[in-house]
Amino acid sequence: MLNIAVLVSGGGTNLQALLDAQARGGIHGGKIACVISSRPDAYALTRAQNAGVPTEIAVRRSFPDADAYEDALLGLFDRYRIDLIVLAGFMTIIGARIIRRYENKIINIHPSLIPSFCGAGFYGLHVHEAALARGVKVTGATVHFVNEVCDGGPIILQKPVLVEDGDTPETLQRRVMEQAEWELLPKAVSLFCEGRLSVDGSRVRIL
């Protein structure tokens, strides 16, 4: 069984999708060992507690610098013997030491079809605002491994979602979550835990 850490900062609907998948036996070969929040008031913490999953809080500004914060996160990963890190709406930058130590073992979910609407500044509602402003007819979500390039790591899964007339950033965000994110993230996590993801340069093969 691989131990999974889910890192959150907000509402935690993607965490909920993982918890629900785990409850119905949909995460093969892995279990959510802890949920780490960068904010003490994140509702995601309540979701974890309701599911009986241990929670930890790691607030960046409680540490003197990025290095000390990274040490704290690495300490938590060691304590829970973490094999896979899942960023599910985690709003704090993950440092280079963590990325190196967990190469191709950190998964992120992004609410667009990468390489569209991704990179610095594209987070939360901004992603959907940009998609609507550009007038795209199709958007979606991407699950990818994390490397040192923001939203630039190997792509694991993608799913398209149609933009509808009258969409607002909020309605589009909700539909991308419902139709893509909540399905893709548990699927990718399960594939990882089953050992079915093989990374070859920037390409991920599903075995």
- Tell whether 12 is in a known binding site: yes
Give the binding range for ligand GRF (CB under 6 A) out of 5-13, 48-56, 98-106, 159-167: 5-13
Closest CA to 159 of 184, 137, 135: 184
Which tokens in the block code for residue 199? 């990374």
CB of 24 to ligand GRF, least distance (A): 19
Site for ligand GRF in 109-168 (CB under 6 A): 109-111
- Identify whether 126 is a catalytic site residue: no
CB of 165 to ligand GRF, least distance (A): 22
Give the binding range for ligand GRF (CB under 6 A) out of 8-16, 33-41, 146-154, 158-166: 8-16
- Tell whether 14 is in a known binding site: yes
Beta strands in the chain (DSSP E): 2-8, 30-37, 55-57, 84-87, 106-110, 138-145, 155-162, 197-200, 203-206
Q: Point out the residue whose Cβ comes nearest to ligand GRF.
A: 89
Q: Decide: 173 and 111 in contact? Cβ < 8 Å.
A: yes
Residue of 2, 4, 5, 13 interacting with ligand GRF (CB under 6 A): 13
CB of 205 to ligand GRF, least distance (A): 24
Identify which of residues 1 and 23 has a Cβ nearer to ligand GRF in the complex: 23
CB of 64 to ligand GRF, least distance (A): 27
CA–CA separation, 66 vs 194, rounded Å? 33
Which tokens in the block code for residue 82? 């973490």
Is the bond leading into 115 cis (omega within 30 degrees of zero)?
yes
The dihedrals phi and psi of 181, each to the nearest 5 degrees, come to -60, -50
Catalytic annotation, pick one of 110, 126, 128, 144: 110
Site for ligand GRF in 36-75 (CB under 6 A): 44
* Long-range contacts of the stretch 195-198 (C-beta < 8 A, 24+): 195/29, 197/104, 197/156
Residue of 151, 181, 192, 193 interacting with ligand GRF (CB under 6 A): 181
- Amino acid at the residue 140: G
Q: Tally Cβ neighbours within 10 Å of residue 81.
A: 10
Catalytic site residues?
A: 110
Annotated binding site for (6R)-10-formyltetrahydrofolate: 108
Q: What residues make contact with ligand GRF under the rule CB under 6 A?
A: 8, 10-15, 44, 88-89, 109-111, 177, 181
Annotated binding site: 12-14, 108
